[in-house]
Structure 1
Amino acid sequence: MTTVEGPQPGAHMAAEIAEQPAVLAALRERRSEIAGVAEAIAKHPPRFALLAARGSSDHAALYAKYLIEVLLGLPAGLVSPSTVTLYGAAPDLRDVLLVTVSQSGGSPDLVEFTEAARKQGARTVAVSNTPSSPLSAAAELAVDIGAGQEQAVAATKTYSATLLALYLLIDAVRGGKGADADGLGELAQQTLDRSAAGVQRAVDRYRFVNRVITAGRGYSYATALEASLKLAETSYLAARAYSGADLLHGPVAAIDGETAVLALTNRGKGGDAMRDVLDAVSGRGADVLAIGSAAADVPAALRIEVPPVAEELAPILDVLPAQSLALGLSLARGGDPDRPRGLNKVTKTR
């Protein structure tokens, strides 16, 4: 009798992590398509921007919030879809830009909110990995991140591609040509290759840890949130993410020698602002893993250095070793990150 075995645990997640350099390079080559959407936005400059998303896409939306406020000088906020879907609110959204971010484009609450926002006068843009999705149909404009089908439940290539798509879109709205993203695919490959040994050391060190804090400032706060989610959903760790500033406003009191801290620290203003944070958590005995282009310059037990890029692009590279760490820890702890318990690829909420 022949036994047909399925894929090894984590095979899909590992393959999709490895695909990211090619996905990012291909997306950079499609900048002109995204620039067309940006041109339509720029013709009617919005008063402010709103972003709607769930899960990993919510972290990408937070990244976009920083981009919009810093690069475009516009106020931006993350919406609560339930104000419309559950409570029936009808806010005045004339001259407002709504960017809805969803890898699947199938979440009913995001689709409903986008439809309602469009009726209320918003210029609506869908950023999705599924061009034929209900979300893309609901929005006036759409950006296809083009990451290809993702089989692992934990988002990896769709997340990094969403970040780059949002950067290219927002950069193009301000008249940029995406020059800082040139060669990003190659840098992503370097990041994966050069971080492999450091990731394995981190897996060995944190295999039995129960409590993890992730932290970052500025653009990197989104990576802290995404890293926390990946550790929680693949390894079932009690992981919490904080802005470095918020960490010092109370939660630092709970940090001790039993706490692992994954810190995102890069060259730039956000990374500079993390130095006091890391001094504080190191002083409380925390075991710090520093990831980023400035990892060598901060107090840490382990460091994973990432190639330097423009600060606003650093989250695209920094998340790669964080994803690999989540994969490695899940496998080391006897799990299968491709099939986290209780989770599905598409989560439908209202």
Structure 2
Amino acid sequence: MSATQPGRLMFTEMTEQPSVLRRLLSQGARPIAEVAEQIAARRPRFVLLTGRGTSDNAALYAKYLLEIRLGLPCGLTSMSTTTAYGAKPDLADCLVIAVSQSGGSPDLVASTTAAREGGAITLAVTNNPDSPLARASEFAIDVLAGPEQALPATKTYTAELLALYLLVAALAGEDGTAAAARLPELAERVLARQEEVRTLAARYRFAERMVLTSRGYGYPTAREAALKLMETSYVPALAYSGADLLHGPLAMVDNVSPVIAIVTDGRGGEALRPVLDRLRDRGADLMVVGPESALAGASAGFALPTEGLVEELQPILEIIPLQLLAYEVTRARGQDPDAPRALAKVTETR
């Protein structure tokens, strides 16, 4: 790819994901386990997760992990309660996890500082271990993704997911590296199918609206894919859990606006199947991303190599073809994925 070709940075960083995952497994797992051991000794009874944009979707993934694997009640924070309204919550026995690629957003730093002052155990999960967020937190995890220059986050997202998975596995007293060992190789296999994704992108070049849906561990993938499509191609993309889609938004689905369903191979995918039936009944232009068995009856699909991969880890693989899709749709529309209008790498919300 030419050094001046539109999307060069985003494409390069997408292709780095297998090596990032390998580095995190080989170099990051032990430090994550050490942090988890110290946190587990404090026995938190509740978890609050904080993030913006892509990192907010990673935080949602962690919410599913923590509630399902550890049985800990979790919530996603509303940072404005402390940054705009000055609330001072009592967070004794609470673990607050702030997820951020840059670690530089003032509202994340301020809310984490307030949480620590309120008695919380604070943990930063970031790609910048020297960031203000990492310094404001009691504990920090480096996701080891390396410098990310493209405005659309790709490799930092999958690195955040894997770091959070390893953290939760360690909090459960388990070594998560064995279950994740095949991820880098599977990611390489998906990335090698760029031409297949380019063909799919041709279907959506002129789409005026898209709907994405999933359930369980796949729902954060739907949200992140919608974000990638909106920030690169400017196509309005709405993400709903399958259950929420049936509670009203299904009415807007027709045979014109594409629907992308992310089907995890596991309980989340099983829960989504009735939704897929309803979408087919409505004649939806349905694309499915998931195991080969889930593609039957869809208008288009991308079969994921999920064999032997536990459901909790499949979101790390699911998002890669959707990152490629956002990239290819954007280029097909004559735009530059590296330069989304009105965006900056560090968004300084307060």
Q: Percent identity?
A: 54
Q: Report the Cα distance in structure 2 between the residues aligned to 1:114 and 1:295, rounded to whole angstroms.
A: 43
Q: Report the Cα distance in structure 1 between the residues aligned to 2:254 and 2:182, rounded to whole angstroms.
A: 41
Displacement of 1:184 in angstroms is 1.2
Q: 2:206 — aligned with what?
A: 208
Q: 1:174 — aligned with what?
A: 172
Q: Report the Cα distance in structure 1 between the residues aligned to 2:182 and 2:257, rounded to whole angstroms.
A: 37
Q: Report the Cα distance in structure 1 between the residues aligned to 2:182 and 2:46, rounded to whole angstroms.
A: 32
2:141 alignment partner, SS class: strand
Measured against aligned partners, the alpha-carbon deviations of 1:143-193 in whole angstroms (never above 9, x if no partner) come to 000101111100000001000000001110001101211121111111222
Q: Report the Cα distance in structure 2 between the residues aligned to 1:53 and 1:115, rounded to whole angstroms.
A: 14
Q: 1:261 — aligned with what?
A: 259
Measured against aligned partners, the alpha-carbon deviations of 1:270-303 in whole angstroms (never above 9, x if no partner) come to 0111111111112112111111225644431111
Measured against aligned partners, the alpha-carbon deviations of 1:107-161 in whole angstroms (never above 9, x if no partner) come to 0000000011001100000000001000000000000001011111000000010
2:326 alignment partner, SS class: helix
**Are the equivalent residues in 1 in contact too, given 2:151–2:345 (CA < 8 A)?**
yes
Q: Report the Cα distance in structure 1 between the residues aligned to 2:293 and 2:322, rounded to whole angstroms.
A: 14
Letter in 1 for 2:180: A
Q: 2:38 — aligned with what?
A: 40
**Are the equivalent residues in 2 in contact too, given 1:51–1:76 (CA < 8 A)?**
yes
Q: 1:244 — aligned with what?
A: 242
Aligned 1:67-78 pairs, distance under 5 A = 67-78=65-76
Q: 2:190 — aligned with what?
A: 191
Give the direction of change, closer, same or farther, for the CA distance of 1:266–1:319 in structure 2 (3 Å limit). Answer: same
Q: 1:327 — aligned with what?
A: 327
Q: Which runs of 5+ in 1 are unaligned?
A: none
**Are the equivalent residues in 2 in contact too, given 1:295–1:303 (CA < 8 A)?**
no
Q: Report the Cα distance in structure 2 between the residues aligned to 1:260 and 1:320, rounded to whole angstroms.
A: 19
Letter in 2 for 1:186: E
Letter in 1 for 2:99: V
Letter in 1 for 2:279: V
Residues 1:348 and 2:348 are matched in the alignment: yes
**Are the equivalent residues in 2 in contact too, given 1:50–1:77 (CA < 8 A)?**
yes
Q: Report the Cα distance in structure 1 between the residues aligned to 2:64 and 2:133, rounded to whole angstroms.
A: 23
Measured against aligned partners, the alpha-carbon deviations of 1:38-77 in whole angstroms (never above 9, x if no partner) come to 0011101111100010000000000000000001110000
Give the direction of change, closer, same or farther, for the CA distance of 1:83–1:295 in structure 2 (3 Å limit). Answer: farther
Q: Which runs of 5+ in 2 are unaligned?
A: none
Q: 2:336 — aligned with what?
A: 336
Task: Choose the corresponding residue for 2:97, options 96, 99, 106.
Answer: 99
Cα-Cα RMSD: 1.1
Higher mean displacement: 56-65 or 274-283: 274-283
Letter in 2 for 1:185: P
| Number of equivalences | 345
Q: Report the Cα distance in structure 2 between the residues aligned to 1:254 and 1:116, rounded to whole angstroms.
A: 42
Residues 1:19 and 2:16 are matched in the alignment: yes
Higher mean displacement: 106-115 or 287-296: 287-296
Residues 1:109 and 2:107 are matched in the alignment: yes
2:96 alignment partner, SS class: strand
Displacement of 1:258 in angstroms is 1.0
Using the size of structure 2 for normalisation, the TM-score is 0.97
Q: 1:160 — aligned with what?
A: 158
Using the size of structure 1 for normalisation, the TM-score is 0.97
Q: Report the Cα distance in structure 1 between the residues aligned to 2:196 and 2:3, rounded to whole angstroms.
A: 30
Q: Report the Cα distance in structure 2 between the residues aligned to 1:33 and 1:137, rounded to whole angstroms.
A: 17
Q: Report the Cα distance in structure 2 between the residues aligned to 1:278 and 1:200, rounded to whole angstroms.
A: 24
**Are the equivalent residues in 1 in contact too, given 2:19–2:184 (CA < 8 A)?**
yes
Letter in 1 for 2:148: E
Displacement of 1:198 in angstroms is 2.8
Q: Report the Cα distance in structure 1 between the residues aligned to 2:295 and 2:150, rounded to whole angstroms.
A: 35
Displacement of 1:209 in angstroms is 1.0
Letter in 2 for 1:50: L
Q: 2:269 — aligned with what?
A: 271
Q: Report the Cα distance in structure 2 between the residues aligned to 1:235 and 1:49, rounded to whole angstroms.
A: 35
**Are the equivalent residues in 2 in contact too, given 1:278–1:298 (CA < 8 A)?**
no
1:43 alignment partner, SS class: helix
